[in-house]
């Protein structure tokens, strides 16, 4: 059974940092694009960042560029999102997913982890 499990969310003051983790199990993700999305209350889910599991190429939403860093540890089958200089508008439930390269539809989603930034 394939699972993506997020952790690391919490409550932080504006300007602070958090590191989210997405632990993957049940298969290897060679040939996948791993991503972070977020959904704030009353808003649609939006893209945050993604990384090619094999090659490590990354891509970021403009709203987080320069503040967030996506990375992965192949040996641990885990993806990370280092979030620095957090703002109140970063408050959301953060989800990780896995999408086959060449596809736009994710195969797998995690259950989400809440990030709350107080101003």
Q: pLDDT value at position 49?
A: 98
pLDDT value of residue 28: 87
Cα–Cα distances (Å) from 4 to 27, 29, 89, 92, in that order, read 10, 11, 25, 18
Q: Output the six-digit token pair for 119.
A: 């101003």
**Max Cα separation, the chain?**
40
Rounded mean pLDDT for each run of 10 residues along the chain, 119 residues in total: 96 98 93 96 97 92 98 94 98 97 94 97
Q: Which of 61, 51, 57, 71 is nearest to 92 (CA)?
A: 61
């Amino acid at each position: 059974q394939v699972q993506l499990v997020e952790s690391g969310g919490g409550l932080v003051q504006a300007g602070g940092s958090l590191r989210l983790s997405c632990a993957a199990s049940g298969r290897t993700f060679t040939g996948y694009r791993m991503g972070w999305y977020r959904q704030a209350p009353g808003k649609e889910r939006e893209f945050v960042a993604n990384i090619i599991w094999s090659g490590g190429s990354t891509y970021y939403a403009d709203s987080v560029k320069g503040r967030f860093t996506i990375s992965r540890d192949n040996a641990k089958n885990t993806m990370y999102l280092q979030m620095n200089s957090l703002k109140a508008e970063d408050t959301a439930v953060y989800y990780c997913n896995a999408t086959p390269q060449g596809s736009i539809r994710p195969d797998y989603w995690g259950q989400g982890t809440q990030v709350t930034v107080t101003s």
